[in-house]
Amino acid sequence: MKKPLIIFGAGDIAQLAHYYFSSDSDYEVVAFTVNAAYLTEKVFCELPVCAFEELAEQYPPEQFELFIALSYSKLNAVRKEKYLAGKAMGYRFANFISSHATVLNEGRIGENCFIFEDNTIQPFVTIGNNVTLWSGNHIGHHSTIRDHVFIASHVVVSGGVDIGEQCFIGVNATLRDHINVGERCVIGAGALLLSDAEPEGLYVGSATERSKVPSTKLRKI
């Protein structure tokens, strides 16, 4: 028998969470919830939407688990806030860990984690609470990812890296081995980080500039 689950959110990530939990987990999504101020539709993905302020009354924490399906907005602060609010209400939190991910760290994963397909999590990695690993990342051995972190797709985290709370790591970023990334850092898409990053650091990769030669002048394409 599948365990009943409530998803916080009513946007793209909540829709994705509904898809993944419904197709690749032992949970059954039974409802969604958002703050009353954002409750514009009473149905989402053909399921009821409840005001978060009334959630415990309608879906008691003794009977239902919760999953916070939000993005990295405000450096993950919004997702962190809702996670802590749900915890204060007494809810237990579900994880989604794709059956198509390679997870070799003996279950050292916190709660409310969203781990997509094709992630490779090597031995001796520790992952905190409320962490999102989008698809296709490499998390190297003996690394630590602390709470409320969002890692986008195809990131390489080499061995022995420590990523602080509320960091955002962009698509195709590379972090060399045995460095520390301070809390609330943003490592942009395609960035290469070769040394420690102090808290609240911003590291932006270089964008590819348009060539002076137009595409119509290329001879081999």
Q: Are 193 and 177 in contact (CB under 8 A)?
A: no
> Residue 204: pLDDT band by 50, 70, 90 thresholds?
very high
Q: Which residue has the tokens 């999504």?
A: 29
**The listed CATH number (3.40.50.1820, 3.30.2350.10, 1.10.287.70, 3.40.50.20) that belongs to domain 3-93:** 3.40.50.20
CATH 2.160.10.10 given to domain 95-201 = yes
- The single-letter DSSP state of residue 86 is H
Average pLDDT value for the chain: 97
What pLDDT, in 10s, does the model give residues 177-188?
A: 999 999 999 999
Average confidence (pLDDT) over 27-39: 97
Structural domain boundaries in the chain: 3-93, 95-201
- Give DSSP secondary structure letters for 135-183: TT-EE-TT-EE-TT-EE-TT-EE-TT-EE-TT-EE-TT-EE-TT-EE-T
Average confidence (pLDDT) over 100-119: 98
> Residue 25: pLDDT band by 50, 70, 90 thresholds?
very high
- In the chain, the amino acid numbered 179 is I
pLDDT of residue 75 exceeding 80, the answer is yes
The proportion of the chain whose per-residue pLDDT surpasses 70, expressed as a percent, equals 100
What pLDDT, in 10s, does the model give residues 39-60?
A: 999 999 999 999 999 999 999 9
User: Would residue 156 be called left, alpha or beta, if left means φ above 0 and alpha means ψ between -120 and 50 degrees?
Assistant: beta
What pLDDT, in 10s, does the model give residues 140-154?
A: 999 999 999 999 999
pLDDT of residue 221 exceeding 80, the answer is no
